[in-house]
Structure 1
Amino acid sequence: MKIGDFAKKYGLNITTVRYYVERALLTPERKNNQYVFTPSCMEDMEKILKYKSFRFSLEEIELLFFLEKTTKFRDETVLGIFSRLLKQKQAELEKEEEKIHDTIGELKAEIRSFSQINYELDHSANGIPFTFLPYLACPDCGRPLKLESASISDNKICDGEFLCECGYKNELKDGVILCDGYAEDTPFKAFENIDLVSAVTEELGNEFRTLIDKTYMWMYHQMTDHVDMEGSINIMGGPFSGNYFSRYCQKFSRDAIFIINDPSLKRIRKLQEYMKEFDCQTVYLAGDLNRLPLRENSIDVYLDDFSSNNCIFTYNKSQYDKITPLIRKTGCAVGLFADYRKCPKSLRTFQEDQPDFIPEKMTFAHVKADLLEGGMEIDDQKQIGSTTGKEKQFQRQVGNETIGLMGYRAIK
């Protein structure tokens, strides 16, 4: 039997089989400079798998093989040694079983304590802070917006209508400003899961999640180097953002205002649930970027938490032609960018849900060009790392293609 067939028979890869041969656990014949695996190899392989199931290490299995193959169990002393090794392993496993039993008991107690937690929904009102009103402006003429029919609760504006002399108007409903282009569902069909926490848990692999966490930390440090974290600052994110705000919002000043944009009203409502637990000052803008009612030069920091990638997937361009006019002269953009250059096949699979998507647009060079056109330049960037391709790390991954993550900061 050839090495490929042998590996397939036992659910192994060829590299593992070669490793067993190198360690003389398997002793195949050689024919025409190729390994040929005989029935005795199969017997040995089944023993290796059996001993591994007994939790023996390879070094221990080598010793067991040496004892068996050297004497064929016809020596009383060897039989005693072999029996002692098996009993030692049994004792180890029994001790481990006791620890596992104790741990299971602790887990059961932890589960009981969680089941006794009375999770209560926060029924406090959703609304925008009064201090943000000066930053709202007509997207058509730039005039300040007038608030009418306002409903106020917990020192927040919950409902109302914003009007401009030129005729522009939008509605504030349950703490969400409804802008042009909002809809219940997201236009980014490749990522429809509105529950961002479960999406990351269920749809991303451990390597990719770790890279995201590392990049988030790098982004946070870039912000602390550039802005006064104790001051009153406006921090904007979106559209199609990840979990940065819910992870890091408590590290900012209580005077900070978070402005979150997304075209999907469902997603906005889910974000409201997350952010409410942190009692932050938050403004939600449901709608696309084309006519956001924000004053120019009103944002201190823009956070790109996968927004550039996801805007390119959806619109074949980044968000920065609409975002850069909103950033103050001394403001910055801090973000991450998923590098798909080493996974072209995976990248093309996004066209299944986004048929108009142009894969060639998915480069950081396009993002840099959009920033430059908006009067911003890259001040710092770092390649945080890449996945190994050993396991599936994201939904659209094809084969063992790898994806990288980089962080960047741009200043105005």
Structure 2
Amino acid sequence: MRIGAFSKKHQVTQDAVRFYLEKGLLVAHKRGEQYYFTSSDGEDLETIKMLKGLQFSLSAILELMTLKRLSGEDSALYRQKYLRHLRAQQEEAFAMRKKAESLERILHERIDEVEKEEKKDRVLGIPLEALSILACPACGEKLPLKRGDLVDHMVVEGDFLCGCGYVAKVSAGVFVYEPSVRTKMNCGRKMQTKEEFLQKSSHTYINHLYQTMGLMMERIEEVKKPLPYMMELNNCVGFFLQQYLKELREETTYILVDYDLERILQLKRNLECYAKHEKFLFLCCDYDQLPLKNQSVDLVVDFGMVRNFEKETGKCLLTPVLPLLKEEGDYVGASLYAEVKKSELRPEGKGYEENYLSEKMKAQGLQRIKESALGPAYQENPEDAFLSGKPLYQKVVHGRKSKRSVVLEAI
């Protein structure tokens, strides 16, 4: 019987038969270039399959097959050796079962822990002490709360009404300026979710972003003064916070901004379920309509939002934001840039220059403390087609607002 018919009869692949021949588990006769198999070879193959099913090692199977050919299956020598291997496998199976039982117990405990974390029954809202930094973005006066429902010293529902006519509300713990509310778009399409971004990106590019945020966290850690109020500027609201959460100082109220109410509510629900920190200020409004007092924020962390804001509005984000930063307050920013030859520069590449963020900071009077670059990395299927196939880097800059800084118009 030739190899094709033999393998088909015994329901194994021809490659498997060749492997067994190569290792000496099968010893079929060869005529010229062709192997011919007998019923005895078939019995050997069935024995091999049976031993493999018992999880015998290749060396153990070879030892038993060799001994079988030497003394036969009915010899005392073969039976003693076979029995020794069976008992060894039995002991291994017992150990594996104990290990599996231990793993099952650990997994069960971990599942219970995660499910309990998901069932946290708490609500986040505007901390009462954070009301002191709210100001009307229209006239600059203190923003009065006309009505408010409180839960654990936080405003979860309420209305703001300024004497100048500005109106906003607190809905589900979020400050909402309704004229600003809209769906977030990017490059003409609804902005992708974190899950969609993850599916389209390689682990190397995700690691590149993770390293960037790690370096930003180091720069924040170098700021030794208290940070009562910290604000994140990010096109994907809370993207930096998700990594920074464990490092967030207990005294810090973390301010999050997005005009897409659905996205900010989704982040808020996630924090309510999993975060231990309780001091957050959720603002659903535009960046040029921030309801915050001048010089109320101690640190601004910016993950690429200066460029995104300019692409969306044509304006410099630092213009409305820097007045909110305290004198000698800190700014930690990251900006993506592409490695492009001058001859290849195109209008669509504006904002992806290496010194883009540094120049914006300089123009706005921010003192540069430290600057670092990370890369290169490549982004698969970027939403901005200009970045496709280009080496990408991140510039991380730590700046500080000088006393009596003059905020300039966009450059």
**Is TM more than 0.5 here?**
yes
1:148-173, Cα deviation, whole Å (9 max, x unpaired): 11110111111111222222221111
- Match of residue 325 from structure 1: 323
1:93-242 to 2 correspondences below 5 Å: 118=115, 120-179=118-177, 181-188=179-186, 189=188, 192-194=191-193, 196=194, 198-228=195-225, 231-240=226-235, 241=237
- Match of residue 239 from structure 2: 243
2:367 corresponds to 1:377: yes
Tell me by how many angstroms 1:190 deviates.
Answer: 5.2
Distance 1:275 1:297, change over 3 A: same
**Alignment check: 8 A CA contact 1:239 1:263 kept:** no
Separation (CA, whole Å) in 2 of partners of 1:255 and 1:225: 17
Separation (CA, whole Å) in 2 of partners of 1:168 and 1:177: 13
Distance 1:102 1:306, change over 3 A: farther
Tell me by how many angstroms 1:284 deviates.
Answer: 0.7
**Alignment check: 8 A CA contact 2:233 2:256 kept:** yes
Q: What is the DSSP-based 3-state SS (H/G/I as helix, E as strand, rest coil) of the residue aligned with 1:238?
A: strand
2:257 corresponds to 1:261: yes
Distance 1:218 1:327, change over 3 A: same
**Alignment check: 8 A CA contact 2:200 2:380 kept:** no
Distance 1:115 1:319, change over 3 A: same
Tell me by how many angstroms 1:359 deviates.
Answer: 3.0
- Match of residue 60 from structure 1: none
Q: Specify which of 280, 288, 311 is matched with residue 282 of structure 1.
A: 280
Q: What is the DSSP-based 3-state SS (H/G/I as helix, E as strand, rest coil) of the residue aligned with 2:207?
A: helix
Separation (CA, whole Å) in 1 of partners of 2:324 and 2:399: 14
- Match of residue 23 from structure 1: none
Distance 1:290 1:315, change over 3 A: same
2:380 corresponds to 1:392: yes
Tell me by how many angstroms 1:127 deviates.
Answer: 0.8
1:294-305 to 2 correspondences below 5 Å: 294-305=292-303
- Match of residue 61 from structure 1: none
State the one-letter code of the partner of 1:375: G
Distance 1:161 1:399, change over 3 A: closer
1:87-98 to 2 correspondences below 5 Å: none
State the one-letter code of the partner of 1:304: D
Tell me by how many angstroms 1:191 deviates.
Answer: 6.3
1:57-85, Cα deviation, whole Å (9 max, x unpaired): xxxxxxxxxxxxxxx9xxxxxxxxxxxxx
1:282-326, Cα deviation, whole Å (9 max, x unpaired): 001111112211101111111112322432442344421111111
Identity of aligned residues (%): 18
Deviates more, 1:391-400 or 1:335-344: 391-400
Separation (CA, whole Å) in 2 of partners of 1:347 and 1:308: 20
**Alignment check: 8 A CA contact 1:385 1:404 kept:** yes
Coordinate RMSD, CA, aligned: 3.8
Deviates more, 1:273-282 or 1:393-402: 393-402
Separation (CA, whole Å) in 1 of partners of 2:168 and 2:266: 21
Separation (CA, whole Å) in 2 of partners of 1:102 and 1:383: 50
Tell me by how many angstroms 1:178 deviates.
Answer: 1.0
Structure 1 unaligned spans of 5+: 1-49, 55-71, 73-86, 349-356
- Match of residue 12 from structure 2: none
Aligned residue pairs, count? 312
With normalisation by structure 2, the TM-score equals: 0.65
**Alignment check: 8 A CA contact 2:124 2:278 kept:** no
1:175-232, Cα deviation, whole Å (9 max, x unpaired): 11112653241133556234x3x2453232111111112111211111121243xx35
